[in-house]
């Protein structure tokens, strides 16, 4: 951790510990304390298993930015965003939410292709919307600008 803190320039150092699952909450909190003391900007104690443990993480680091990992179906219970904020968490990750939604959309599209033989594009992005979303026009402008 000290090496990452010393090497950073404009990086935000988020220190994650997964010790809760293996060594228990006390060990995870101790590890997070060491990360904080080494200069981490944000602490991420992964997988507290109930609201009391989430509260314990928050209580242990009242003056340190904390990350809450909202992993749908994971060990940590989903709490309302107001409650998460009230506890002192300043960053919330949703690492699986969009992946799960996209996976469902892919399943439905493939099922439609199988049953109909053609795609059902109702509600889907069309080509121009997609290329705009990913910034393709800007890349094309840059390509034109810098191509000899």
Report pTM: 0.78
More confident residue, 79 or 8: 79
The β-bridge relationship of strands 89-93 and 42-45 is unpaired
Task: Give the C-alpha separation, 82 to 52, whole Å.
Answer: 16
Please provide the average confidence, as pLDDT, over all residues in the chain.
93
pLDDT for 12 beyond 80: yes
Q: What is the pLDDT of residue 9?
A: 73
Q: What is the pLDDT of residue 148?
A: 66
Outline where DSSP puts E strands in 52-137: 66-69, 89-93
């Amino acid at each position: 951790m000290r090496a990452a803190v010393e090497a950073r320039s404009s990086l935000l150092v988020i220190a994650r510990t997964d010790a809760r699952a293996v060594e228990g909450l006390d060990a995870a909190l101790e590890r997070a304390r060491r990360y904080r003391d080494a200069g981490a900007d944000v602490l991420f104690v992964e997988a507290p298993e109930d609201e009391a443990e989430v509260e314990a993480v928050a209580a242990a680091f009242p003056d340190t930015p904390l990350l809450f990992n909202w992993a749908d179906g994971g060990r940590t219970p989903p709490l309302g965003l107001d409650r998460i904020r009230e506890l002192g968490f300043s960053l919330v990750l949703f690492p699986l939410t969009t992946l799960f939604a996209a996976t469902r959309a892919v399943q439905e599209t493939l099922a439609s292709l199988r049953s109909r033989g053609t795609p059902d594009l109702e509600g889907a992005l069309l080509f121009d919307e997609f290329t705009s979303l990913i910034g393709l026009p800007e890349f094309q402008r840059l390509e034109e600008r810098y191509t000899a």
